[in-house]
Structure 1
């Protein structure tokens, strides 16, 4: 019984390591990063008022294994951090206090954007 338990634990460890390595490799893919950046820029422009520019400062794999895009708008007026889903949609976004307000139509639901 102990032997079976050790084998199962070893399998989970090996498979978990392979899964993490595969998702890390995706972060090195320029096309993946470009899609995440474009989706984030479209989301910000579609859902917030008075956005003249969106600057991406970093794209990285967060502690939970997901993709995070960070940046600022309007030449540093406000900053954001966005969690990106597997389909490159924005799953969550955190903004600074100085970030522009959401558009009226986008308060209760996310406005349509290209991702």
Structure 2
């Protein structure tokens, strides 16, 4: 199923996902992002890969803030100060 989001939405989702990961996780060298998609429940999500091998999925609230993130095997650890509560992004 192809999702047709306007360029502004695509840009906002990509920038937010990238910023969240860079500001909350250690040793992030590269971030590759796929196209945003709508989940079966209707939320906006984006999938990607960090450092060429660790998969993730970010789910967004309606205001484009991060609702949750699912991390695959080998994903970098969080910064110590971001373990209890997400750091600003």
TM-score by length of 2: 0.91
Structure of higher CA gyration radius: 1
For residue 77 of structure 1, report the CA deviation from its aligned partner.
2.6
| Structure with the largest fraction of helix | 1
Question: RMSD in angstroms over aligned alpha carbons?
Answer: 1.3
Query: Number of residue pairs matched?
Result: 87
* Structure 2 runs not aligned, ≥5 long: none
Q: How does 1:1-115 map to 2 (within 5 A)?
A: 27-74=4-51, 76-113=52-89
Structure 1 stretches lacking a partner, 5+ long: 1-24
Aligned equivalents of 2:72, 2:56: Cα separation in 1: 6
Higher relative contact order (CA 8 A, sep 6+): 2
